[in-house]
Amino acid sequence: MASGAHLLTTSIDRDWLTSRTFTFIPEGALAPITETFGFQEKGLILGYSHPNERYWSLKDDHVDIIDYLGNVTCHMRPELRSDGGINLVGAFLNPAGGYAENGTKHLLIETASPFRSKRQSFDLFDTLVARKCFDPLEIFRIVEAKAALTNFAAARHRVEMSMFGKIEYGLDDIYDQMIGHGFVNRQQAAVLKRMELQEEWDNLFPIHEVIAHVEANDIIISDMYLPYEFVKRILVEKCGLKNELYLSNYGKHNRHIWPKVKELHDLGRHFGDNIHADILGASESGIQPIFVSISKWSKSEEILRSIGLEEYAKVLRKTRLEIPHAEPAIVNALKAQVAINIPLMILSALWLLCEAKKFEAKRVLTCARDCNLLHRILSSHHFIRAGFPPTHYIGISRTLCREGGDDYEAYLLNKTSDGVAFLVDMVGTGQSLTQLITRRNLSAKLKPLIVVADPLSGHFPGVATFLRKDFASFRFFVETMNICNEGSAIDAVVDRELTSIVYHPYEYDAEISDIIRASSEMLDRFIIDLNEFSSPTDLPRADQLSAAAEEISQQIGEHAPKLMRLIRQHGSKLAALTAA
């Protein structure tokens, strides 16, 4: 550290931070870790990539450096150097040591590096926006079906490929060629072109995780035949960006665009999804390429596709890519939802649909709290159209299963109908449900089912289970993914002849409540898209569904460490509730 350094008496601000470049070096180290450490406008770290330094947050008198798990690894305060420059200094909170100080200080030394003067460039399609249909050729197939024009999709693609790489062309040129080939007349071409643009627009949605990296002076470079004003509108209205747009047919593909933009802009990095056009092209031009693969299928989406559930995979992919840029703890929780919990709920919903048809169930009762998200999926228009029985969300708990009397039995039976009703819990052993059914002699009316059951469920042969997993490695994770701020049901009381459930307050702190709220809002968006299509008539077998769920569960090891604060708080609440 420079001699004569002292703490500043005034705080630094966001504009100062995001306009500087720093050399990052542990105190006493012989060489810096990086000389291009920067603070990006939206809370990301620029010019350097390490799990310990992924995000940042400005406090009143210091900057928090945050790791990929969302935990603070350094509280950095400004120090004034004898030469008038400013360093940021703070004790390193070592993740490997439980985030305790280990005696090491981290320094960010303000430098005159030109790094911040360099602009970034971004591809647009499949980098900043994606299509719901995944395959861009599907747009032509959709138009063909809606227009009832046989072979349109093949002809449309064939004409464009005959022009690609040979001449500069736009959408009008493609349709002029189709007219010239006699495939359509001019009036048909006008209608089809308008339909194609509309389908493109309706299919496109933003990829927020990549959009968060775009800064005000960055540029967008796209190889695309669509009209400039249409593509500009996508950038503004879909992405919320007003950056300068460079549009050509195949400027990146044939490397023509790079010399032109480099004459106008000092480019440092280019983000894109195409290996040939974006990665190799940028690299050959001396620009650091950043490969963006986020728009491809995720592991869970591929698993759904492998058993014939591609439409569900498409909706899940859209939900994943639309995760908003937010606090790391929220983003980590939402990513776990789309990787594990939501696909698990879809698979279990299809299993319950098969079970309901097999047993001719007339009603489905979903257990409160743990089923708060699953219930919303089961009662969606999508599953109603598929023939899923009416569902009711019921107040239930271990206490009521052990001690609920006549009033509680009346409350339950009022939710049923003639024939058997399913009593569904998201996680558990089935012991409490079995105890309730046996104690109140309800076996003719209620059939218990557990989505994720502890191996102990084998002791209760009347309980149907989708998956059996031990509590520590799976069940508790799923239970945490389905937490809510609802109270725990403790009694059934009658007030003027009507029965209601009494709840014990059960709330989390503000950060966890924000995660719960964000998860709920994301599920709402997922269900809106889910309702746009019908379930397949030929459903996968039960063993295929459970095998897919088992494979999806293997991702817990990746996601659980990012949710430890959430998991611990839920565990402490659950322990306190159980003790009470």
Residue 196 pLDDT exceeds 90: yes
Question: Which residue's entry shows tokens 């690894």?
Answer: 73
Amino acid at 101: E
Task: Give the mean model confidence (pLDDT) for residues 477-501.
Answer: 89
Task: Give the mean model confidence (pLDDT) for residues 370-386.
Answer: 97
Residue 507 pLDDT exceeds 80: no
Residue 300's alpha-carbon distances to 25, 130, 310, 352, 483, in angstroms, are 39, 18, 11, 20, 22
pLDDT tens digit sequence for 108-154: 998 888 888 889 999 999 999 999 999 999 999 999 999 999 999 99
pLDDT at 115: 82
Give the helix ranges, DSSP H, for 429-497: 431-439, 476-481
Q: How confident is the model at residue 386 (pLDDT cuts 50, 70, 90)?
A: very high
pLDDT at 2: 43
Q: Which residues pair with 402 in a beta bridge?
A: none
Q: Which residues pair with 125 in a beta bridge?
A: 129
pLDDT tens digit sequence for 307-322: 999 999 999 999 999 9
Residue 440 pLDDT exceeds 60: yes
Nearest to 502 by CA among 399, 365, 370: 399
Residue 8 pLDDT exceeds 60: no
Domain residue spans of the chain = 6-115, 119-291, 299-579
Residue 491 pLDDT exceeds 60: yes
User: DSSP of 187-221, one letter per residue?
Assistant: HHHHHHHHHHHHHHHHHEEE-HHHHTT--TT-EEE
Contact 380, 527 (CB under 8 A): yes
What residues have CB less than 8 Å from 243, skipping those under 6 apart? 122, 214, 216, 217, 218, 219, 220, 235
Among 124-133, 409-418, 456-465, which is the least confidently predicted range? 456-465
The per-residue b/e assignment along 239-249, b for 16 or more CB within 10 angstroms, e otherwise, is bebebbbbbbb
Sign of the Cα torsion 309, 142, 274, 290 reads negative
Task: Give the mean model confidence (pLDDT) for residues 190-216.
Answer: 97
Residue 3 pLDDT exceeds 80: no
pLDDT tens digit sequence for 80-98: 888 878 899 999 999 999 9
Whole-angstrom distance, CA of residue 575 vs CA of residue 571: 6
pLDDT tens digit sequence for 327-367: 999 999 999 999 999 999 999 999 999 999 999 999 999 99
Residue 35 pLDDT exceeds 60: yes
Q: Is 419 helix (H, G, I), strand (E, B) or coil?
A: coil
Nearest to 551 by CA among 216, 301, 356, 211: 301
Burial of residue 82, with CB atoms counted within 10 A of its CB: 0-12 exposed, 13-18 middle, 19 or more buried: exposed
Contact 224, 234 (CB under 8 A): no
Contact 471, 456 (CB under 8 A): no
Residue 471 pLDDT exceeds 70: no
Nearest to 337 by CA among 325, 348, 351, 323: 323
Question: What is the DSSP code (8-state) at residue 388?
Answer: P
Residue 234 pLDDT exceeds 70: yes
What residues have CB less than 8 Å from 448, skipping those under 6 apart? 422, 423, 424, 425, 430, 433, 434, 437, 460, 462, 463, 464
Residue 289 pLDDT exceeds 70: yes
Phi, psi of 74 (to 5 degrees): -165, 130
Whole-angstrom distance, CA of residue 53 vs CA of residue 76: 12
Nearest to 207 by CA among 314, 297, 315, 131: 131
pLDDT at 578: 57
pLDDT tens digit sequence for 251-278: 998 999 999 999 999 999 999 999 999 9
Task: Give the mean model confidence (pLDDT) for residues 526-555.
Answer: 95
Amino acid at 235: L
Q: Is 530 helix (H, G, I), strand (E, B) or coil?
A: helix
Whole-angstrom distance, CA of residue 533 vs CA of residue 546: 23
Task: Give the mean model confidence (pLDDT) for residues 548-563.
Answer: 93
Task: Give the mean model confidence (pLDDT) for residues 74-82.
Answer: 91
Phi, psi of 84 (to 5 degrees): 95, -10
340: its two tokens: 């594990």
Q: How confident is the model at residue 384 (pLDDT cuts 50, 70, 90)?
A: very high
| Half-sphere exposure in the Cβ direction for 250 (13 Å, CA) | 12
Whole-angstrom distance, CA of residue 578 vs CA of residue 188: 69
Whole-structure pTM over 0.85, yes or no? yes
pLDDT at 575: 61
Among 26-30, 70-74, 525-529, which is the least confidently predicted range? 26-30
Percent of the chain having pLDDT more than 90? 76
Question: Which residue's entry shows tokens 């049901």?
Answer: 489
Q: How confident is the model at residue 4 (pLDDT cuts 50, 70, 90)?
A: very low
Residue 272's alpha-carbon distances to 205, 281, 413, 523, in angstroms, are 17, 10, 57, 29
317: its two tokens: 């992919």
What residues have CB less than 8 Å from 359, skipping those under 6 apart? 420, 422, 447
Mean pLDDT of the chain: 92
Residue 166 pLDDT exceeds 80: yes
Q: Which fold has domain 6-115?
A: Lipocalin (2.40.128)
Contact 79, 6 (CB under 8 A): yes
Whole-angstrom distance, CA of residue 78 vs CA of residue 92: 15
pLDDT at 116: 81
Sign of the Cα torsion 403, 406, 409, 414 reads negative
pLDDT at 84: 79
Phi, psi of 21 (to 5 degrees): -120, 145
Phi, psi of 402 (to 5 degrees): -80, -35
Residue 560's alpha-carbon distances to 200, 253, 563, in angstroms, are 37, 41, 5
